[in-house]
Amino acid sequence: MKIILASQSPRRRELLGLMGLTDFAIIPAQGEEDLSAGLPPDKLVEALAAAKAKEVAAQADPSDVIIAADTIVTLDGKVLGKPHSGEEAFEMLRILSGRTHRVYTGVAVLQGQRLELLHEATEVVFRPLTEGEISRYIATGEPMDKAGAYGIQGRGALLVEGIRGDYFNVMGLPVCRLGQMLKAFGIVTL
């Protein structure tokens, strides 16, 4: 049995290391994310994480434990995925400015036919942002591969006034809850 992370996210790799997991393989899922499934955010992130886990499991041994995750940002019922352009990033950050939004992460752990799913939701409060601040942040390049066009663990921390919930969830992996999931699969992290 080996542990496989179905993600190319450096943040998720870092967080698994934080959990004490150092011996794991990385096989990123390649499938296209469909954010238009019409599901509520909690079910959407679970479905996306499950699809990633199943895709990678098709290449793995049935005894391997696959960890997959997907993160989205929602505001007023609208899902904000990763921006495809600087203009899209600007619009996302503009509508998040001075408001509270939710970050959802779905996590799937799969071994053979056993699939466990969960989601975590965290509220994030942005301070009011000027157009200049938004433009300068976009110029860093940081927003372009992140849901909601920001990374709380980087320069995006300067946008965040506060959070209610799991900080690591906003980074893309709710480590406390994942640790409990892995324990049920016989993988002890603490």
For residue 38, is it within any domain?
A: yes
pLDDT at residue number 35:
67
Cβ count near 21 (within 10 Å): 18
pLDDT at residue number 31:
75
Give 143-180 as a DSSP string: GGGSGGG--TTTGGGGGEEEEES-HHHHHT--HHHHHH
Rounded CA separation 174/70 (Å): 11
Mean pLDDT of 36-48: 89
For residue 190, is it within any domain?
A: no
For residue 142, is it within any domain?
A: yes
Catalytic residue numbers read 70
Which range of residues forms the domain containing residue 107? 3-184
Domains identified in the chain, total number: 1
Q: What CATH number does the domain containing 84 carry?
A: 3.90.950.10
For residue 42, is it within any domain?
A: yes
The answer to whether residue 15 scores a pLDDT higher than 80 is yes
Rounded CA separation 166/169 (Å): 5
Give residue 81's pLDDT band: very low, low, confident or very high (50, 70, 90): confident
